[in-house]
């Protein structure tokens, strides 16, 4: 989706190559200048408001979290914590499956 060339965090070179995926499925890159390996998307990726609005709508449709994560392009762990946070602020108890998965 993004055509923006990743930049090496060590030497700022854009001469990087894809280097497989890391344990959580994120794309790993390797800098050809200095050999540094890095992941383009930091873990605390900012989810924009449009995406959150979309997620809020999808949540009302009782779509499984995995499906929402796919549609919205966010990670399931992120979505789970987003939902947990969201419903913590609502007094009424909502039945969110807080199923832990070892992924």
Give me the residues that bind Zn ion (CB under 5 A), please: 8, 10-11, 13, 31, 33-34, 36
What is the distance between the alpha carbons of residues 87 and 81, in angstroms, rounded to a whole number? 10
User: Which residue's CB is nearer to Zn ion, number 34 or number 96?
Assistant: 34
CB 29 within 8 A of CB 37: yes
User: Which residue's CB is nearer to Zn ion, number 33 or number 56?
Assistant: 33
User: Which residue's CB is nearer to Zn ion, number 35 or number 67?
Assistant: 35
Q: Note the Cα 37 to chain centre separation in Å.
A: 19
User: Which residue's CB is nearer to Zn ion, number 10 or number 71?
Assistant: 10
- Least distance in Å: CB of 1 to Zn ion? 24
From the list 70, 69, 86, 87, the residue with the least C-alpha distance to 78 is 69
- Least distance in Å: CB of 45 to Zn ion? 21
**Burial (CB count <10 Å: 0-12, 13-18, 19+), residue 79:** buried
């Amino acid at each position: 989706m993004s055509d923006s060339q990743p930049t090496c965090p060590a030497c700022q070179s854009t001469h990087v190559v894809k280097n497989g995926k890391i344990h959580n499925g994120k794309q790993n890159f390797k800098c050809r200048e200095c050999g540094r390996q890095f992941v383009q998307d930091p873990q605390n990726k900012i989810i924009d408001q449009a995406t959150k609005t979309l997620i809020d709508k999808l949540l009302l449709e009782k779509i499984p979290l995995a499906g929402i994560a796919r549609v919205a392009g966010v990670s399931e762990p992120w979505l789970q914590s987003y939902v947990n946070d969201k419903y913590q602020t609502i007094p009424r108890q909502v039945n969110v499956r807080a199923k832990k998965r070892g992924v």
